[in-house]
Structures are given as structure tokens and as C-alpha cells.
């Protein structure tokens, strides 16, 4: 990347760039969904989720929050919930820098443990978190299918 990277807390101005980047990755353009998500995370902590911009373009983002008393975890726990980097800019430490910004915020807030959930199909994402120091945890993810014909 030749342009300087600007990493800063998310704001409403970033919504269109975030939706465009998600469309590039997922193939679906959902600006209303991303506006709601951005507003949710700003309400949770205006300094807690981050966007990376280069030459005025959004090239990555990371959303997360701190929760206490949920999942039987009494201590404040950081959760990394969404991370994405522009496919044209991957492998340039943008994801790492976004994560470091979020982990720095978690430390400021007294968080001692950070969790995330990764699909077993997303080996690259698992390796990304592993390279940041994440390890297998003793939390087990469980799921229940409520779609018609599946519920008990």
C-alpha cells in the first residue's frame, strides 16, 4: 500500500464505504444493515470499533464490544465480532493493525480476556486470529436450528 493508512474509531461517515467493502467481499449490498450495525457499535462504545482508510477509501473495519456477566463470564470480556479487509489490500498488516487498535481499547477498559467465534470453514480467519495470539478456548459453541420442520 502506497497511501498512508488511517485507522480511527468508526463513525457514520464510514457507513457507505463499509457497505461497499462488504459488497466486494460478500457480493451483497446492504447499506441499511451496515448503518444499523455501525450505530449499534457506536452506542456500545464510540471509541471501541475501528475503520481503516487509505486515500479516503475504506479498506478495512473491525467491530467488537465489551460484555460482563454474560455466558457465565463475570469479568469484563472483549468480543471481536466482525473483521474485514479489502481483498486487494489483504496481507499488508491492515487486519493486524485494526485488531491492535481494538485490543488497545479493550486494555484501556480493563479487559483481561478477549473472545471471538470463527466458523470451522474459515481457516484463513482462524489463522489470522492465531497469528494475533488467540488460542483454542474452553467455551463451546452450541446451535439450534429453528427453521420450519427443524424445531422440536
Residues that bind ligand COA (CB under 6 A): 25, 82-85, 90-96, 124-125, 127-128, 131
Is the CB of 57 or the CB of 75 nearer to ligand COA? 57
Sign of CA dihedral 23, 32, 128, 8: positive
* Coil vs helix vs strand at 7: strand
We find the least distance from the C-beta atom of residue 94 to ligand COA, in angstroms, to be 4
- Closest distance of CB 152 from ligand COA, Å: 30
Q: What is the rounded distance in angstroms from the CA atom of residue 16 to the CA atom of residue 94?
A: 19
- CB-CB contact of 14 with 61 (8 Å): yes
C-alpha span between 42 and 51 (Å, rounded): 12
The secondary structure element, H or E, covering residue 116 is strand 113-116
Q: How far is the CB of 69 from ligand COA (least distance, A)?
A: 25
Closer to ligand COA by Cβ: residue 45 or 81: 81
Q: Which is nearer to ligand COA, 30 or 131 (CB)?
A: 131
β-bridge partners, 116: 80
> Closest approach of Cβ 62 to ligand COA, in Å?
8
**Nearer of residues 68 and 131 to ligand COA, judged by Cβ:** 131
Amino acid at each position: 500500500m502506497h497511501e498512508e493508512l488511517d485507522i480511527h474509531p468508526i463513525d457514520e461517515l464510514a457507513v457507505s464505504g463499509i457497505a461497499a467493502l462488504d459488497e466486494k467481499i460478500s457480493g451483497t449490498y446492504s447499506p441499511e444493515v451496515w448503518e444499523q450495525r455501525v450505530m449499534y457499535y457506536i452506542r456500545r462504545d464510540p471509541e471501541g470499533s475501528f475503520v481503516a482508510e487509505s486515500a479516503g477509501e475504506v479498506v478495512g473495519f473491525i467491530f467488537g464490544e465489551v460484555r460482563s456477566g454474560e455466558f457465565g463470564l463475570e469479568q469484563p470480556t472483549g468480543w471481536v465480532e466482525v473483521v474485514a479487509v479489502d481483498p486487494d489490500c489483504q496481507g499488508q498488516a491492515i487486519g493486524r493493525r485494526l485488531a491492535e487498535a481494538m485490543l488497545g481499547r479493550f486494555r484501556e477498559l480493563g479487559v483481561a480476556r478477549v473472545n471471538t467465534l470463527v466458523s470451522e470453514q474459515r481457516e484463513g480467519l482462524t489463522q489470522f486470529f492465531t497469528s494475533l495470539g488467540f488460542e483454542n478456548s474452553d467455551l463451546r459453541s452450541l446451535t439450534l436450528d429453528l427453521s420450519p420442520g427443524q424445531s422440536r
